Amino acid sequence: MQKLTLNLNYDFKISQGDHLEQLIPEIAKARLELFKEFPYLYEGTYENESKYLKDFACNPKSIILTAHEGDKLIAFVTATAVESGFELTEAIKDLMQGQGIDTGKYFYISEMMVYPEFRSFELQNKLKKDIENYALKNNYSKTCFLSVFRENDHPLRPERYKEVSRLWKFNKYHKTEISTEFEWNTVQKDSESKLMNNRLDLWEKELTR
């Protein structure tokens, strides 16, 4: 486990392997709660989340960055190499290589989740910087992620919703012309969920030391 510099009065740590596996219960719970929000609208089960995270933890290139306030998890980022061999990144690798991209240079940010009461530009910016610094130290020159696309008139878009893309652009990420679709149980206007395809756009950044 690699302990990072304290900031914002929170405790930041990067975990791998067995240390990552110990975090599965609280991360699975957080994923179920936070991914149900707009724009993800994902409805899963604890069993599926636990299995996904156990497989993720077994991959030697996977990491999770956590932020705690005391014993309370307030934010986390999961990330791994595009060429990690993990099931999710295999699909992303095929997508990128189909466009002639050298995927060996890329470190993939699977998700960055922050509990609502702790959301701030400063915290989210630090989470990104810590992941990018980890990628650079491990000889990756680019980071990337997939962002869920939702229409401006989507019925579940909150009235005062702030587009996360503003933060990504500030951090010098740019949206590529590459997009794909993943299928998951998606929350509908009537609060029920339906299995359906969801569009995701690929964003990337060239890292500098």
- Mean pLDDT over 51-79 rounds to 96
Q: Domains in the chain and their CATH numbers?
A: 2-206 (3.40.630.30)
Q: What is the mean pLDDT of residues 23-30?
A: 97
114 near 74, Cβ under 8 Å?
yes
* Tally of residues, the chain: 209
Tokens 């497989």 belong to 55
What would the mean pLDDT of 54-81 be, rounded to a whole number? 96
Q: How many CA atoms lie within 13 A of 188 on its CB side?
A: 8
Q: Band the pLDDT of 12: cuts 50, 70, 90.
A: very high
Vertex 56 angle, CA 40 and 45, to 5°: 45
Prior bond of 39 cis (ω within 30°): yes
pTM (two decimals): 0.93
Dihedral sign of CA atoms 87, 89, 95, 100 in order: negative
Would you say residue 95 has pLDDT above 50?
Answer: yes
Contact 193, 186 (CB under 8 A): yes
Print the SS3 string covering 88-153.
HHHHHHHHHHCCCCCHHHEEEEEEEEECHHHCCHHHHHHHHHHHHHHHHHCCCCEEEEEEECCCCC
Q: What residues form DSSP beta bridges with 10?
A: 7
Tokens representing 59 are 């991959």
pLDDT band at 3 (very low <50, low <70, confident <90, very high): very low
Share of the chain above pLDDT 70, in %: 96
